[in-house]
Amino acid sequence: MEIQKQQQPKTPMRILLAPRMRLALPSTSLKNCAEKENVAQVEVENVMRGYNCKMRDMNPEQLERAAFQIGAILPKLAKKYGANAHIGFEILEGCQELILNQFLELSVEEIETAYELWSAGKLEVKNADMYHGIFNVSQLGKILSAYSKRRKKIIATLIHEQGENRIKEERAAKNQKLKETFEIDFVNNFEKKRTSIKEWKDVPTFWWEVMKKRKWIQFTKEEALKTYEEAGKLAKIHTQLIESENRVNQAIKRFDLVRDVDAKSLRQNIAGQLMVFRKCIQNPDFIISINT
């Protein structure tokens, strides 16, 4: 196979646009996209690379080099995928012009990707065979059009996936900021109130969950069991007081003051208050370190 004559390839005159967004997705996201589109992950990876290196985003010098690359790759592709006749310069030039005018959304490498998919029967394209082993502009255009259509769906999925990832990242960053703000406010509030707390009943019930979750309180299993046992006794006394109060309230029709008693929750709350009171309030050396 040979090219009848060589001359500098023509590149179209065009207004350069600012490069579009780049696709940058981790392997897990690429796998998700491949599953959604029912294609191989390697194809999704090729599309992402092609999108980031598309000819439309090239400057004039890069586009000129791309034109030379196209001129070099087309004869090899033609021979590899069925051509057995020489390619005339007019055909080669026509193919170059077709690509540079109609398929700038592709990268140079994707031209070969398109032919690989075509040969594997994965492109929906009719009448694209090289009859009598002759390669022509029409055959190239049909294959690249079919590939572009398939590629467009994959890119849409990639962009959507990247958008979802960005939303998750922004949400995570926002939550982290809220967490840090909450913790700083909590520590300030704790230091402000700790000196005014004289007994376990004065400890806000939510302090225990906040401090335990962040491992700001260190305690042994034995300490936890002992505290929970003591809390059970205190909860029983407190429950009796509330029930007695309820009976009085009902007797004088003050239903708005009636409270239901959840013995288990009450015991857990008291146990937490006791633990915070003893480990934090009564310990003058206790300091909350947010970074630990």
CB count within 10 Å of CB 53 equals 17
| Model pLDDT for residues 7-22, shown as the tens digit of each residue | 455 555 444 444 468 9
DSSP conformation class of 3? B
Highest average pLDDT, of 51-60, 73-82, 254-263, comes from 51-60
Does residue 249 surpass a pLDDT of 80? Answer: no
Q: Measuring CA to CA, how many Å separate 182 from each of 33, 190, 198, 273, 288?
A: 37, 12, 25, 20, 13
What confidence tens digit (pLDDT) does each residue in 87-143 have? Answer: 788 989 999 999 999 999 999 999 999 999 998 999 988 877 776 677 889 889 999
Checking if the pLDDT of 245 tops 50, the result is: yes
Report how far residue 237's alpha carbon sits from residue 86's, in angstroms, rounded to the nearest whole number.
100
pLDDT for the residue 15:
44
Q: Mean pLDDT over residues 233-254, rounded?
A: 69
Longest Cα–Cα distance in the chain:
110
Q: Quick one: what percent of the chain has pLDDT higher than 90?
A: 64
pLDDT of 43 above 60: yes
* C-alpha closest to that of 155 among 27, 43, 19: 43
CA–CA gap between residue 169 and residue 95 (Å, rounded): 44
Q: Is the pTM of this model over 0.85?
A: no
More confident residue, 243 or 178: 178
What does each C-alpha distance from 218 to 152, 186, 268 come to in angstroms? 56, 18, 17
Map out the domains of the chain as residue ranges. 27-168, 197-281
